[in-house]
Every structure is written in structure tokens, then in C-alpha cells.
Amino acid sequence: MIKLLLVIITFQFSFSQTDRLKDKLITNINQIVEQADAVVGVAIKDLRSGEQILINEDDIFPQASSIKIHILTEVYKQAAEGKFNLTDIKQLPISARVGGSGILSSLGEKSVSLSIRDYCVVMIVLSDNSATNLLIDLVGMKNVNESLQKNGAIKTKLQRVMMDIQAAKEGRENISTPKDVMAILEKMYNGALVNKQACDDMLSILKLDKDGALKSGIAPMVTIANKGGDVEGVRTDVGIIYLENNPYIICVMTKMLLHNEDGPKIITDISRETFNYFERKANSNQYGRRLPK
């Protein structure tokens, strides 16, 4: 009975410390959000405990290139269904070539032929818009949206190809919410999209090295699987942080930015506050002492 009481007291003491630290995190993130000259949405999930921090999590935000995560998922779904192989080689058609981010549109008109998986890599790592448009044509916009609905991302929609300015002017924007994307990333982390093998390979692509606002807020040696995006007045970055002993998901979205350069700073500031919280929680004992590494 005495041992049980001691265990309960220790647990309550530990929980109290972590709870206070979490309160500080929420206060700090709220302050960043309120002081931002923009609309900001945040969804964070502790993949160990399941705890969440949600701010404007159901607000709809333009996704810019973050929408490419869902195109990637549909490619792997259809490959698993046998509609094509990821190793199939496809030539990049002139119809898919657009400007903006990426490199493929600058290469020879008939000299670009890659495997479907390679197009996925170029889409995620270089955010190549031509590769993205080829993949949208391959899997179908309608199919991407139907899969999103089935996976519970009911506010997420792919409504235009990359660099279709006229569609954006008409309100056909690629949209989602912080909460929707968090749910998709959690399914991917747990191997629950398509199958575990597909999730592992998709995550290996998302982990490939690239700059980003979320990455700027975490320690250099920590692995991140993410995809950022930016268009006029919008900055997003969403991903999984593979912090040892305490991995977590973080999705930060901004819109209505007066100055585009404010977006990355907002995202990095929130990422840094979040990382510092999880890192301390992962590397301290129940009394708050930092553990030697």
C-alpha cells in the first residue's frame, strides 16, 4: 500500500511538472499567433501520449505545395492496387510543363523520362510543379479527393493543377486544415495509409533533405519528414519530427500575410517553442533533472 502511494505521488509530481511546461508552451504559441500580422493555424500531436495542442485547427488554409503530400499518397495507393508500378518510366509531356518551383520544365522537351517514384521524389524534394502535374494527370484529381474523404480529411481538396492562376482567381484553390493534415500524417506514421510498406517508403521520401521553416526550429541532427509550401500571402509547413523518445506531428499554416517573409518566421518560432518543449520532456527525469546524453 505504501509503495502504491509512493508511485501515485511520484506520478502526480511528474505530471504536474509536465503539465506546467505544456501550459507555458501553449501560452507562448498563442502569443506568437496573436501577435502575427496574419491568420495562423496550428495542430500539434504528441505521438507518444496522444496529447494535442490545437489553435484554429479547423480553419481552411490554402496549401500551396503542402498539398503534394496527398498526391504522393494517391500515387502509392493506386500502385498498390496494381494500376501501375512505381518503377514504370514515363516521359514528361509538354502539357505538364509549368514554371514555378522545380527544374524539369527547364530541361529538354523530349529528354525527361523518369520512373513514377522518381517523379514523386522530385515533387517532394524540389517541389517540382511539372512532376506534380504529371502525377495529378496519372492518378486523377477526383481520386485524390475521394481518398482524402475516406481517410477523414473532409475539408482537404485538390482543386487545381500547379501554377493555374486562373483557377485560383476563380476560387478553385488547394485547401486543407491543420487538423486534417495532422490526421493524415498520423495515419502515415502508423502505417495506416495504403499499407505499412507504402507508408515507410513515402516517409523515406518526405525525410529527404530540404530546407524549411519547421526544420529551422529544431536541432540539426533530428530527422524530419515534412513538406512546406508558399504562394502569395500563404506559407505552410507540416511534418513529423522524429525526436528520440518523443516524436510528434506539427502542422503550421498561415494566410493573409501582408509580408510573405513573415510566414517562415512565424512557423519557425512556433516550431522552436514546440521542439524545446518536447526535447526537455524527452530528456528529463520525473523530477525535472536534465539527463546526460
Is residue 15 a part of any domain in this protein? no
Instruction: Establish how many alpha carbons lie within 13 A of residue 13's alpha carbon, considering only the half-sphere containing its beta carbon.
Output: 10
CA distance 54 to 251: 10
Say how many domains are in the chain: 1
Q: CB atoms < 10 A from the CB of 102, how many?
A: 21
CA distance 183 to 181: 5
Q: Using DSSP, how many helices (H) and how many strands (E) does the chain show? A: 9, 9
Is pLDDT at 142 greater than 60 in this prediction?
yes
**Range of the structural domain that residue 196 is part of:** 34-282
pLDDT at 14: 44
* Amino acid at position 262, single letter: D
CA distance 174 to 69: 12
pLDDT at 17: 60
Dump pLDDT digits (tens) for 107-136. 888 889 999 999 999 999 999 999 999 999
Is residue 289 a part of any domain in this protein? no
Is residue 17 a part of any domain in this protein? no
Closest of 247, 200, 249 to residue 222, by C-alpha: 247
What does the DSSP assignment read for 225-245? EEEEEEETTEEEEEEEEE-TT
Is pLDDT at 21 greater than 80 in this prediction?
yes
Three-state DSSP class for residue 149: helix
Is residue 216 a part of any domain in this protein? yes
Is residue 175 a part of any domain in this protein? yes
From residue 214, alpha-carbon distances to 85, 117, 275 in Å are: 32, 25, 10
pLDDT at 167: 82
- Residue spans of alpha helices (H) in the chain: 2-35, 68-80, 116-125, 129-139, 141-150, 165-169, 178-189, 196-206, 262-282
* Amino acid at position 187, single letter: K
Instruction: Classify the C-alpha dihedral 102-103-108-114 as positive or negative.
Output: negative
CA distance 56 to 60: 9
Is residue 71 a part of any domain in this protein? yes
Quick one: pLDDT band at residue 16, thresholds 50, 70, 90? low
- Residue spans of alpha helices (H) in 81-159: 116-125, 129-139, 141-150
Is pLDDT at 292 greater than 90 in this prediction?
no
Is residue 22 a part of any domain in this protein? no
CATH of the domain at 240: 3.40.710.10
Which cell numbers in the block locate residue 177?
486544415
Residue whose C-alpha cell reads 484553390 in the numeric block: 173
Which cell numbers in the block locate residue 279?
526535447
Hey, which residues does 255 pair with through a beta bridge?
39
Quick one: pLDDT band at residue 206, thresholds 50, 70, 90? very high
pLDDT at 103: 87
Is residue 293 a part of any domain in this protein? no
Is pLDDT at 277 greater than 60 in this prediction?
yes
Dump pLDDT digits (tens) for 28-87. 999 999 999 999 999 999 999 999 999 999 999 999 999 999 999 999 999 999 999 999
Overall average pLDDT of the 147-166 stretch: 93
